[in-house]
Structure 1
């Protein structure tokens, strides 16, 4: 398994099984230049580990990076020199404080004011998801590892390693058919015309029932996280990170716990789906890292401070995909710089108001629900785990 980084080939065959992002990413980049993909996600420690490895000799040279990625590297290096990656712990602990305030209030009100409790706990779970997501990306901050256990483990039941592997694949192979698990939801939702083997008669109604499915996203992620722990016999994570959260949920009325998980998942699903699902699906090639993000990502313009807070910085999805390890509370300030860089390099910066994107998403699902099924025997678009 030979991957090109910084104009050198590295044989990562033996390392692949230990790769925190999973083997799948490395297999996909076998024989390709992955320089910008590598630096976008990896910590200083990972970069140092790579530099200690000895490059391998090969007859063929590493494929040259696109001009777009070369220009993007200059932008990223300039932002680093300007201190954009420096964390502001006042904001981080303020976000944590708000989450636990909602958790405590929602728990105390769960028996007397269940509707209020569900709303508070749903927003707390959603915000815990955004914050834990930020912490998993922020690998250079040791405190984040400990906080992830509490924020995403206790509150949402997520396994850090499961999330890291799934999410990193989405980041470096955004909207890549057969590789990005975030765009394939067949046979419950169809983002393209399916083959007959996976089609069903309810597809034509998917623009009506999709909100119900989005409520189940946290249920699905919790279940996958539990299976990850149990299948790998990771009892430490199960006992000390996941189990406490389920004990907490069991202490409240079942309808409050279930309602919180369902509505919290729905709030997250809105952001996750609107930013990518209606954009281009990439097939059969490794594209420029930066160009891939511009083609497959659209920002959500939130109309007020309430949605601005609820969307947790992830409405600036393009900035996040370009700089995933950057603190998310800095994305809003980065928008003018990215827009100017896009103009200078002939790239389209896509963004639309929340209401427009909701309408577009509804129409997109309706259109794909009415397409005729394909006769192919193998679905070239489907995710192959």
Structure 2
């Protein structure tokens, strides 16, 4: 049984207490809600509309195979944007002040092939608590045995090439999510150190909505489209390559770059730093000043703000980032940031290369990767 990891209690006048005070004051002074605004609702409507428009175009347009292939990839990318912009906020409870609205919107996650209940456990509860802690945060287990991202993982000879083969695997990860990951996470005894005990209704939801997804994206196209079954299968794979690469890159660029650390607890399970300071060390932003990136990626390019304030809708992250940045500076805490998507991508590539190298793997975050005393 894994030892439960514990963070020390923060001091009364600590970084996070001051940060929350400043952010709360800012919302109060501007007299606005921490939840979705009109822009958020319009954006959500746009992506849902695009989803159905592309889906029905694929099914009923009778377009040539090349056009169908391109539409399948585009549909996958739109599915990723739906996950980023609607489902992610809804499952965190930050889209609306109404639990019923958040619950309803979280059900849209089934349309992208994922289970919102399982995601809530693996992401909201475990990943957001034990970020980048090997053996606890299963979100960083991209492809165990294939991709190595910290020194706690065994090094294999083939991983010297992982910076090249990792990116195609991100696309395949979406297929794994649809056919394997949700089932595996649901039925394994523990996720990290958290024991899995599920309400009975969630067993029904898992199998019913997975079956519905398979029907909508595999069976129905086979029934209605005038193309061969193997061509439908290729289209389904292309959809998930588009969806998987989009989702994989965004999440990896936030936690698996040269700026982020992978701290370990001591032998008794205690971490050296309080939870908020841990989040600052293990998370990084990218394209912070890009309104385009924030629009399409649901604020996930600003993971620092998201990890510190998951109950605040992502439409507010660009504004509060200035408060977070200044407070971190006041407390002499690093604010990890890559200025552009490309600089973050290059950093991720270099980290994969370093962690796959037999000699140099210990050089990345070498202080953070040893047990804390």
TM-score, normalized by the shorter chain, greater than 0.5: yes
1:365 and 1:104, CA in 2 relative to 1: closer, same or farther beyond 3 A? same
Secondary structure of the 1:173 match is coil
Secondary structure of the 1:370 match is coil
The partner residue of 1:356 within 343, 349, 353 is: 343
Secondary structure of the 2:286 match is strand
Shift of 1:177: 2.6
Secondary structure of the 1:95 match is helix
Separation in 2, partners of 1:138, 1:165: 14
Aligned to 1:200: 156
Aligned to 2:21: 74
The partner residue of 1:93 within 25, 31, 41 is: 41
Shift of 1:304: 5.6
Separation in 2, partners of 1:174, 1:79: 27
Aligned to 1:277: 256
Secondary structure of the 1:28 match is coil
Separation in 2, partners of 1:88, 1:194: 39
Residue-by-residue CA offset, 1:151-200 (whole Å, 9 max, x unaligned)? 101x12222221111112111211123221122343111113466xx443
Number of corresponding residues = 320
Secondary structure of the 1:175 match is coil
Tell me if structure 1 keeps the 8 A contact 2:155–2:356. no
Q: Which has the higher contact order (CA 8 A, sep 6+)?
A: 2
Aligned to 1:210: 166
1:244 is the counterpart of 2:212: yes
Aligned to 2:81: 127
Shift of 1:116: 3.2
Residue-by-residue CA offset, 1:51-104 (whole Å, 9 max, x unaligned)? xxxxxxxxxxxx856722332343354356445643345334323322222222
Shift of 1:108: 2.8
Aligned to 2:193: none
Runs of 4+ with >4 A deviation = 63-66, 82-85, 227-233, 302-306
Tell me if structure 2 keeps the 8 A contact 1:68–1:288. no
Separation in 2, partners of 1:118, 1:66: 52
TM-score (norm 1): 0.74
1:114 and 1:224, CA in 2 relative to 1: closer, same or farther beyond 3 A? same
Aligned to 1:342: 328
Aligned to 2:72: 118
Mapping of residues 111-190 of structure 1, within 5 Å: 111-112=62-63, 113-130=67-84, 131-138=86-93, 140-141=97-98, 142-149=100-107, 151-153=108-110, 155-167=111-123, 168-185=125-142, 186-190=144-148
Q: Which moved more, 1:85-94 or 1:178-187?
A: 85-94
Alignment root-mean-square deviation, CA: 3.0
Please list every run of 5 or more consecutive structure 2 residues that lacks an aligned counterpart in the other structure. 189-197, 222-231, 363-367
1:209 and 1:333, CA in 2 relative to 1: closer, same or farther beyond 3 A? same
Please list every run of 5 or more consecutive structure 1 residues that lacks an aligned counterpart in the other structure. 1-22, 34-62, 375-379
1:65 and 1:86, CA in 2 relative to 1: closer, same or farther beyond 3 A? closer
Separation in 1, partners of 2:106, 2:301: 22
Shift of 1:235: 4.4
TM-score (norm 2): 0.76
Aligned to 2:224: none
Shift of 1:308: 3.8
1:305 and 1:237, CA in 2 relative to 1: closer, same or farther beyond 3 A? same
Shift of 1:213: 1.0
Shift of 1:272: 0.5
1:209 and 1:280, CA in 2 relative to 1: closer, same or farther beyond 3 A? same
Residue-by-residue CA offset, 1:100-120 (whole Å, 9 max, x unaligned)? 222222223325121331233
1:172 and 1:78, CA in 2 relative to 1: closer, same or farther beyond 3 A? farther
The partner residue of 1:263 within 223, 242, 266 is: 242
